Amino acid sequence: MTKSTKVFCISEKRPNKKKLEYCANLIRKGKLVVFPSETVYGLGANALSKNAVQSIYKAKGRPTDNPLIVHVSSIKMAEKLVLEIPAIVRKAMGTFWPGPITFVLKKKKIVPSQVTCGLDTVGIRFPSNRIARRLIEISDRPIAAPSANLSGKPSPTKAKHVIEDLNGRVDAIINGGNASVGLESTVIDVSGDLPILLRPGGITLEELEKVFGVIDIADSNAKSPKCPGMKYRHYAPNAVFYLFDGKNENPKMNRLKLKFNSLRKKGYKVAIIASKESKKIINEKYHDDVFVVGSRTNLLFLASKIFNVLRKIDRKGYDYILMTTCPNDGIGRAIMNRIRKAATKVIN
């Protein structure tokens, strides 16, 4: 399957209407259009066409038991896809939409089973990125879209990443610059009595608890059919990735440095992902191999850069990546969720 992929540069501040109309027309014709969103780039197709949806799985090599998120440009559009929106969910939508959160609700028949992999629920998201919103509005269709990476690879936060993975596999790619959040949306199942956090993301558990009160947290190791996406290894770089876990930063860094030295001695190319504070305690002669992702105190920055840095290290041909864990709360919960899945091994 080789397609000729058109790339369009569109600015989020002033989205070019002609280019958007061209891409919207592709969506209406059942074609594949990659678009930017505030979380990560999405590989989009008309959510109401089963053929279009099927071609998404093919293009990214996605297992066909992992359902897709449907993107809308209003709550009204969401209402057409789901059986009901309970009052508390409506309140949460009002609080967090448009933005980085997906609500899983009971679906209407109009949503093809190819989108949901046979589940009776569908995940719906109203993105805040203006290019994504305008694309949905102009297509006048809900757009089904997984992250626009080859299955198993780190999610794309720049058009360059999409081109690496999907050039020749999609009809168009909209380059809209860097994704601002940089991690995929929070996924919360609100189809039952108790809300269940299926995937931590841009909207934090703490923020959700303010609206919902008690929230159940899905066990990310469980092979439950409730959260099909969780059973796959994700976000994996080519390099072997060791994650150093533990309560305090300095002992973790010390263990990381020991590993770094022993791998280097064996002749391997080893990269370290670290904060600017941690970089200071690494011998200066190795600083070229240290990839700094902001300060320890700015986890939002780390979230926005983590997928990019994993891809960058792969491009440079490293054999190993070493990193320490960050605190598991706020946005840290989403970061940890992704890097634990990306890691080859967690070292305690």
Least separation, in Å, of the C-beta of 155 and Mg ion? 5
Which residues does 54 contact at the CB level (< 8 Å), separation at least 6?
A: 114
Site for ligand TXA in 29-58 (CB under 6 A): 37, 39-40, 42
Is there binding between residue 175 and Mg ion (CB under 5 A)?
no
Is there binding between residue 67 and ligand TXA (CB under 6 A)?
yes
Q: Torsions phi, psi of 219, nearest 5?
A: -75, 115
Nearer to ligand TXA, 203 or 271 (CB): 203
Is there binding between residue 49 and Mg ion (CB under 5 A)?
no
Per-residue string for binding with Mg ion, 146-165, x by CB under 5 A? -x------------------
Nearer to Mg ion, 20 or 148 (CB): 148
Q: Determine the Cα–Cα distance for residues 185 and 94; give it in Å rounded to an integer.
A: 16
Nearer to ligand TXA, 120 or 140 (CB): 120
Query: Hey, what are 73's tokens?
Result: 């440009």
Query: Hey, what are 161's tokens?
Result: 């990443």
Is there binding between residue 121 and ligand TXA (CB under 6 A)?
yes
Q: Determine the Cα–Cα distance for residues 308 and 294; give it in Å rounded to an integer.
A: 13
CB-based closest residue to ligand TXA:
229
Nearer to ligand TXA, 134 or 199 (CB): 199
Is there binding between residue 227 and ligand TXA (CB under 6 A)?
yes
Among 10, 23, 59, 68, binds ligand TXA (CB under 6 A): 68
Q: Determine the Cα–Cα distance for residues 268 and 283; give it in Å rounded to an integer.
A: 17
Query: Hey, what are 99's tokens?
Result: 């933005």
Site for ligand TXA in 144-183 (CB under 6 A): 145-147
Is there binding between residue 37 and Mg ion (CB under 5 A)?
no
Separation in Å, CA 68 to CA 42, 49, 54, 136, 254: 11, 13, 11, 16, 41
Nearer to Mg ion, 68 or 270 (CB): 68
Size of the site for Mg ion (CB under 5 A): 1
Nearer to ligand TXA, 236 or 282 (CB): 236
Least separation, in Å, of the C-beta of 125 and ligand TXA? 5
Residues found near ligand TXA in the complex (CB under 6 A): 37, 39-40, 42, 66-69, 102, 104, 116, 119, 121-123, 125, 145-147, 184-185, 187, 198-199, 227-229
Residues found near Mg ion in the complex (CB under 5 A): 147
